[in-house]
Structure 1
Amino acid sequence: MEIKGILFDKDGTLLQFREIWIQITYEIIDELLDSMEDKGNTALKEQLCDSIGLRNGKVDEKGYLASGTSVDIAESFQQVLPHAKPHLHQWLSERLLKKTREHIDNVKPVCDLSLLFSSLKHKGIIVGIATADDYETTKLCLQQLGIEDAVQFLGTADLYKKKPYPEVVEEFCKKFLLKKEEVVIVGDTIIDMQLAKNSSVRFGVGVMSGVGSYRELNPLADFIISSVDDLIDENNRFIWE
C-alpha cells in the first residue's frame, strides 16, 4: 500500500535539540528558583534538572526533557519544590514561549528542510507534526525553520492526548482520509517509535539527529537513519521503497 502521509516529531527530528532546549531549560529553572526566593540554591537546581532528565548538560533520552510535555515537566518540578507553586504549568508554558522567542536564532534545522519538504510535496505526501510541545511554541519554531506553510497538520500536546497515545495519529488520518497503513512516523525517541506501534501505522522511522540512541530505537523502529535528510535517497526513492 502506498505511503500518503508522514508525521514528524519536531525537536531532535526537524530542529537541533541541543542548540536551544538545554539553554532554555537552565534559564527557566533559574527563573523558577528566583520566583520561589531560592536563587542560588544549587542543590535544588540540580534536583529540578534531574527530575526531567537533564544531568551535567546531557539529556536522558527517557526523561521528560527529551519527550515529555509541559504538563509532565511542571508536575516533575512540583514534586521537587519544597512548597507548592500555584499555577506552575501556566507559568512554565508562558516562560517556554517567551524563551523560545528570545532564543529563536538557535532554532536550527537538522538539514535542508526546504529541500526535503519540497520533495515531499512533489511526491504528494501529506505532512504533519506530532510533538510533545505546545501549539504556539511549535508554530514559532516552524516559522523560524521556514516550513510552516509546508506542514498541513499540527498535533501538539495541548491539543491532543500526548504521545505515545494514538489520538494524534487517528486525528491526522481522519482529517486527510488516510488509512493507518498509509502513514509513516518519524522521530528521535522511543516515545515516537512507541507511537508508531500503538497506532499501527505502516512504519516507524528512527532518526539519530536527536537525543535517542540506536540501542533504544532499534528494537522498535522499522528503519533507523542519520537524519530526515536520508528519508529520500539519491535516486529520489523513499527508504521503504
Structure 2
Amino acid sequence: MKIKGILFDKDGTILQFKSIWIKVMEGVIDDLLKMISETGNSKLKKQLCLSIGLRNGEVDEKGHLASGTTRDIANAFQEVLPQQIPFFHRWMSESILRRTEQSIEYVKPVCNLSSLFKAIKQKGIIIGIATADDYETTVLCLKHLGIENDIKFLGTSDLYEKKPSPQIVERFCEQFGLEKEEIAFVGDTVVDLKTAKNSKVRYGIGVLSGVGSEQELQNLADFVIPTIEYIINGNKEFIWDSREGAAKKSEYSTYVL
C-alpha cells in the first residue's frame, strides 16, 4: 500500500522553532506582566517561563512550549499567576497572534519548502498540517512562507482534539478518502510520534530540526532524519521506498527500521 498523504507538524518541522517562538512567547509574557501590573517582576517572569519549559533561552522538548496548545500554555501560566484572569485562554490566543504578526520576519523555513512540496505533490501525495497551534496563527505563518496553497488540510488544536489524539489523522483520512496505512506523519517531538502511533499510520518520522532529541525520537520513530528535505533522497525516492539508497546519500540520516 503506497503512501498517499503526509501530515507535517508545523513548528520545528516545516519552520524553524527557536527563530520565532522564543521571541513570541517572551513578548507574550511581557504583555501578561504588564496587564496584571507586574512589569519588572523578574521572579514571576522566570516562573512563567519555567512553567512552559523555557529556561534561559532553551526549550524543554517535553514542555508546553515545545508541543502544548495555547490552552496548555494558558493553564500553565494561570497556575503560577497571583490572580485568576477571566477569559484567559482567549487573551492568550489573541496575544500570540498579535506577537506573531509583529515578528513575522522571524518565521523562517527549515529548507526550501516550495521545492520540496512541489516534488511531493508531483508524486500525487496530499500534504496536510497537524499542529498544536491555533488556526489563525497557522495560516499567518503559512502565508508568510508562501506555501498556503500547497497545504490541503489544516489540523489545528482549536479545531480538533490536541495531539497525541488520533482525531486529526482520522479527519484527514475521511476528507480525502485515505486509509491510515497510506499516511506518513512527520514531526520534531515525542508528542508528534505518539500521534503517529496512536493513529496507526504507516510511518512516523522524526526530524532533528526542532526541539526533540535524537535519542527521544528514535524510541518511537520509524525514521529519524535531519530535516524534512531528507524525506526524498538524491534519486527522488521517498526514504520508505529506498532506505538503503537514502542512507548512502546522507551520512546524517538514521533509520530505525
Fold shared per TM-score above 0.5: yes
TM-score normalized with structure 2 length: 0.93
**What root-mean-square deviation, in Å, do the aligned CA atoms of Structure 1 and Structure 2 show?**
0.4
Which residue is 1:11 aligned to? Answer: 11
* Matching residue's letter, 1:3: I
1:45-84 aligned at under 5 Å gives the runs: 45-84=45-84
* Matching residue's letter, 1:38: E
Which residue is 1:136 aligned to? Answer: 136
Distance in 2, Cα, partners of 1:3 & 1:193: 17
Which residue is 2:127 aligned to? Answer: 127
Distance in 2, Cα, partners of 1:101 & 1:24: 9
Distance in 2, Cα, partners of 1:119 & 1:106: 26
Secondary structure at the aligned position of 1:18 is classed as coil
Does residue 1:210 correspond to 2:202, yes or no?
no
* Matching residue's letter, 2:133: D
Distance in 1, Cα, partners of 2:32 & 2:85: 9
TM-score normalized with structure 1 length: 0.99
Secondary structure at the aligned position of 1:150 is classed as coil
Which residue is 1:106 aligned to? Answer: 106
Shift of 1:215: 1.0
Which residue is 1:175 aligned to? Answer: 175
Which residue is 1:195 aligned to? Answer: 195
After superposition, the C-alpha distances for 1:157-186 in whole angstroms (9 at most, x for unaligned) are 000000000000000000000000000000
Secondary structure at the aligned position of 1:149 is classed as coil
Which residue is 2:251 aligned to? Answer: none
Q: Alignment identity in percent?
A: 60
After superposition, the C-alpha distances for 1:74-126 in whole angstroms (9 at most, x for unaligned) are 00000000111111111110011111111111110000000000001100000
Distance in 1, Cα, partners of 2:201 & 2:62: 22
Moved segments of 4+, more than 6 Å = none
Distance in 1, Cα, partners of 2:145 & 2:10: 11
Aligned residues: 241
Distance in 2, Cα, partners of 1:39 & 1:136: 28
Distance in 2, Cα, partners of 1:20 & 1:83: 29
Structure 2: 5+ residue stretches without partners: 242-257
Secondary structure at the aligned position of 1:170 is classed as helix
Distance in 1, Cα, partners of 2:225 & 2:77: 34
Structure 1: 5+ residue stretches without partners: none
* Matching residue's letter, 2:51: S
Shift of 1:153: 0.1
After superposition, the C-alpha distances for 1:182-219 in whole angstroms (9 at most, x for unaligned) are 00000000000000000000000000000000011001
Distance in 2, Cα, partners of 1:77 & 1:98: 18
Which residue is 1:147 aligned to? Answer: 147
Distance in 2, Cα, partners of 1:56 & 1:87: 29
